[in-house]
Amino acid sequence: MRFTYSDEQAMLLDSILRFGQEHFPPTERHRLIRQGRSGETDAWARMADLGWLLLPIAEECGGLGGGIIELMALGEGFGRNLVPGPYMASCVLAPALLARGGAVQDDLIEQIGAGEAIVAAALLEDDGGYDLHHVATRATGSDEGWTLDGAKAHVEDGGDAEWFIVPARTAGGVRDRDGLSLFLVSASAPGLRVERFRAVDGHRHARLELEGVAGQLIGSQGDALADIEAAVARASCGYLAEAVGSMEAVSAITLDYLRTREQFGKPIGSFQVLQHRMVDMTVACEEARAMLCHIALSIPKGDAAFQRAVSAAKVRISECGIYVGQQAVQLHGGVGFSDELIVSHHLKRQMMLAIAHGSIDHHRMRFAA
């Protein structure tokens, strides 16, 4: 049993940290993010060159077959420097869903891995909360193929996607666990209305309305839910590691600030109240990291244990991350609230990570179920 990364994983993390510092140093990052996708394309191409876009893709799909721990190293690295981009959506979640099969899908996975396509999964619907089984969108089959009707309330990182993976009902009622199938839909498909939004962390999401939109069935019919849940749990691990990386980074920045910033003639880190707050932030980081380990420990116990561990981690890591982010801003005072320092950006990312693929409340009840 070992709680540290293997040498190879540590090297990966190290490269990602250097990549983040190089492509997204705090000041540049700001400017690039304001440019939308175009500000990220250089970095994305570089990631493709480095093979990172292929890393989490299964070997049988032509990827490098990275496991959860590799994904965590990636996420942690991204989180430390707040590297933007639709990585978890397009390189982790989408390929896992596309792996359900089909020749077209293989091509698409290849494009994803080469940095040539961005794909996002449209999983949430109005009135569905964060429940993946809540799908009112219907697929109708005919000789000419499938057409989809319905709406998707939120597509994580769907703002730049050329393709959407859309769960739709081929059978069953809105909240049934059976009867779900996955369809691949082009972002430019007739009948599809895509609304795009920017979140406070710079990520770009989408909302879909589908009226008679053509979709290609991915894999078999009616049994997609288990794969969706597994894929989301997997992608969530990347996000959770990102949250841990981000909170550790902002915690370190804050500790440094406490040591150097002077008020009333002494470093503010000499005030006991701020010392203890910093300790609580440090404990929160430790707890969060422990929850990543808890996920890793659950893997050998099978998928149900793994998903439950992910929900547990989602609850605690989100709570810790938001706490650390808020306190980092608070301890920095006015400059913490400014947009200039990276500090507030960590808080905003934590707030968004906390609701990506399910809020704290959602996952707490899922854990309890």
Partner 1 sequence: MEFELDPADLAFREEVRAFFATGIPDEWRTRVRAGLRLNPEELVAYQKRLAARGWGAPTWPVEYGGTGWSPIRQYIFWTEAAEADAPAQFHQGLELIGPIIFTYGSQELKDRYLPGIVNADDWWCQGYSEPNAGSDLASLRTRAVRDGDDYVLNGQKAWTSYGHVASHCFVLARTSDEPKRQQGISLLLVDMKTPGITIRPVATMDEKHHTNEMFLDDVRVPAANLVGEEGRGWEYGKVLLDRERMVTASVAIFLIQTVKAIREAASRRTIGGVRLIDMPGFKAKLAQYEIEVTALQTMVLRVMADAAAGTDSGPLGSMIKLRWSQLSQAGTALWVGALGPRAAHFAPLDNSHDLPADMPYAMQGALYARVTSIYGGSSEIQHNIIAQRALGLKG
Interface residues with a second copy (CB under 8 A) are 271-273, 276
Q: Least distance (Å) from partner 1 to the CB of residue 221?
A: 24
Six-digit token string for 192: 């599809």
Q: Least distance (Å) from partner 1 to the CB of residue 108?
A: 24
Six-digit token string for 316: 């605690």
Residue 187 near residue 162, CB atoms below 8 Å? yes
For the chain, what is the radius of gyration of the CA atoms?
21
Closer to partner 1 by Cβ: residue 99 or 189: 189
- 35 lies in the site for partner 1, by CB under 8 A: no
Q: Least distance (Å) from partner 1 to the CB of residue 74?
A: 14
169 binds, among a second copy, partner 1, none (CB under 5 to 8 A by kind): none
Closer to partner 1 by Cβ: residue 43 or 328: 328
**Considering only residues 154-213, where is the footprint of partner 1 by CB under 8 A?**
154, 156, 159, 175, 195-200, 203-205, 207
Contact code string over 231-260 relative to partner 1, x by CB under 8 A: ------------------------x--xx-
Q: Which residues of 152-190 are buried (b: 16+ CB within 10 A; e: fewer)?
A: bebbbbbbbbebbbbbbbbeeeeeeeebbbbbbbebebe
- 127 lies in the site for partner 1, by CB under 8 A: yes
Distance CA 325, CA 347 (A): 4
Residue 79 near residue 249, CB atoms below 8 Å? yes
286 binds, among a second copy, partner 1, none (CB under 5 to 8 A by kind): partner 1
User: How would DSSP label each residue in 60-113?
Assistant: GGTS----HHHHHHHHHHHHHHT--SSHIIIIIIHHHHHTT--HHHHHHHHHHH
The 10 Å Cβ neighbour count of residue 242 is 29
Q: Least distance (Å) from partner 1 to the CB of residue 256?
A: 11
207 binds, among partner 1, a second copy, none (CB under 5 to 8 A by kind): partner 1
* Among 5, 101, 110, 149, interactor with partner 1 by CB under 8 A: 5
User: How would DSSP label each residue in 162-200?
Assistant: SEEEEEEESSS-TT-SSSEEEEEEETT-TTEEEEEEE-T
Q: Least distance (Å) from a second copy to the CB of residue 274?
A: 9
- 283 lies in the site for partner 1, by CB under 8 A: yes
